[in-house]
Amino acid sequence: MSTGREDLPEIPERMLSLRNGIDHPDIWIACDGIVYDVTNSRLWKKGRHYEHWAGQALDDELPDAPHDREVFANLPVVGRLVQM
């Protein structure tokens, strides 16, 4: 089944990990294999959002969040997360 996201650039996990608000000025997070740019979000200043840290996939942390995946709908998409 196509997700309609196959045309997005591939983002290796290592590149995502460096976009953590400390090692690089860009702040990225991922969920469901999609990488999002939260650099301009007031909720992700310095790469942290409550007890969550940028530069990683947040799939495992989402069940404990007070919101669902809909929060990603308005974030800029950077690409698809790939393991390399």
Reported as a single tens digit per residue, the pLDDT across 23-39 is 889 999 999 999 999 99
**Cβ neighbours of residue 56 under 8 Å, at least 6 residues apart?**
16, 17, 20, 29, 30
8 to 18, 23, 58, 66: CA distances (angstroms)? 19, 24, 19, 29
Q: What pTM did the predictor assign?
A: 0.85
The CATH number for 10-82, chosen from 3.10.120.10, 3.40.50.800, 3.30.530.20, 3.40.50.11540, is 3.10.120.10
Average pLDDT, the chain: 86
Q: Convert the pLDDT of each residue in 56-78 to its tens digit.
A: 998 887 766 657 677 888 899 99
